[in-house]
């Protein structure tokens, strides 16, 4: 009888652990030291707004940065799960993994460096060299990102680059954030 009770307790404990595993895996966390770069229509490969992973709900790069309409980001396959949504405090935007990035892949495979390449501009207009210059101006030192973020974080939906006015919105970046505020 004692053996049966121990087996039952062990089985219950194992079942509880297995059932809580998805919650442990998807818990909010901060990833620091992430190389953050930008790309858009003129320097996408090939030029345009095509993305590698269309199963996320759209066929071209885009988004406003809200939780329900995250901005496209590219990275290395295996660094994130396809369609993962993260939050970038530097931009106050939600981002979704929808595209591939050769430099990100090289960084990840060579030394495990986290690297995201964030979409700028329009999905139908080429901003040319002005947009590429904007991408360079937006590129910061390494930043932190929030993995499995809460859906209610502060968002700035200002486009990073507006091809109509050729405006680069470097003033809509935020370096003074406190990562301890995001996963409580």
User: 184 falls in which pLDDT band (50, 70, 90)?
Assistant: confident
How much is the pLDDT for 17?
Answer: 41
How much is the pLDDT for 20?
Answer: 40
CB count in 10 Å sphere of residue 115: 20
Q: For residue range 152-173, what is the model confidence (pLDDT) as tens digits? A: 999 999 999 999 999 999 999 9
Bond into 46 cis (ω within 30): yes
Q: For residue range 7-51, what is the model confidence (pLDDT) as tens digits? A: 454 444 444 444 444 444 589 999 999 999 999 999 999 999 999
Give the tokens for residue 177. Answer: 């954030």
Higher pLDDT, residue 121 or 171: 171
CA 164, 169, 50, 37 dihedral sign is positive
**Which pairing describes strands 29-40 and 115-120: parallel, antiparallel, or unpaired?**
parallel
How much is the pLDDT for 4?
Answer: 53
Does the pLDDT value for residue 62 go beyond 50?
yes
What phi, psi does 148 have (nearest 5°)?
Answer: 50, 55
What distance in Å separates the CA atoms of residue 173 and residue 184, rounded to the nearest whole number? 23
Mean pLDDT for the stretch of residues 91-104? 98
Higher pLDDT, residue 124 or 16: 124
Distance of CA 136 to the CA centre of its chain: 18
How much is the pLDDT for 24?
Answer: 46
13 CB-near residues (< 8 Å, 6+ apart): none
Mean pLDDT for the stretch of residues 104-120? 97
The percentage of residues in the chain with a pLDDT greater than 70, rounded to a whole number, is 86
Does the pLDDT value for residue 6 go beyond 90?
no
How much is the pLDDT for 13?
Answer: 44
Mean pLDDT for the stretch of residues 120-127? 93
Give the tokens for residue 66. Answer: 């809200």
How much is the pLDDT for 26?
Answer: 80
What distance in Å separates the CA atoms of residue 167 and residue 127, rounded to the nearest whole number? 10
């Amino acid at each position: 009888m004692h053996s049966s009770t121990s087996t039952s307790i062990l089985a219950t404990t194992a079942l509880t652990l297995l059932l809580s595993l998805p919650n442990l895996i998807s818990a909010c966390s901060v990833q620091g030291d992430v190389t953050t770069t930008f790309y858009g229509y003129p320097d996408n490969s090939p030029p345009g707004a095509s993305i590698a992973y269309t199963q996320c709900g759209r066929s071209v790069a885009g988004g406003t940065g809200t939780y329900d309409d995250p901005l496209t980001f590219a990275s290395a396959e295996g660094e994130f799960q396809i369609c993962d949504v993260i939050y970038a405090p530097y931009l106050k935007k939600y981002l979704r993994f929808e595209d591939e990035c050769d430099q990100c892949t090289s960084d990840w495979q060579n030394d495990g460096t986290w690297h995201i390449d964030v979409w700028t501009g329009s999905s139908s207009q080429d901003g040319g060299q002005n947009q590429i210059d904007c991408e360079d101006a937006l590129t910061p030192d390494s930043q932190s990102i929030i993995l499995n973020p809460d859906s209610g974080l502060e968002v700035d939906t200002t486009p990073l680059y507006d091809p109509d006015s050729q405006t680069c919105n470097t003033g809509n970046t935020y370096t003074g954030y406190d990562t301890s505020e995001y996963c409580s």
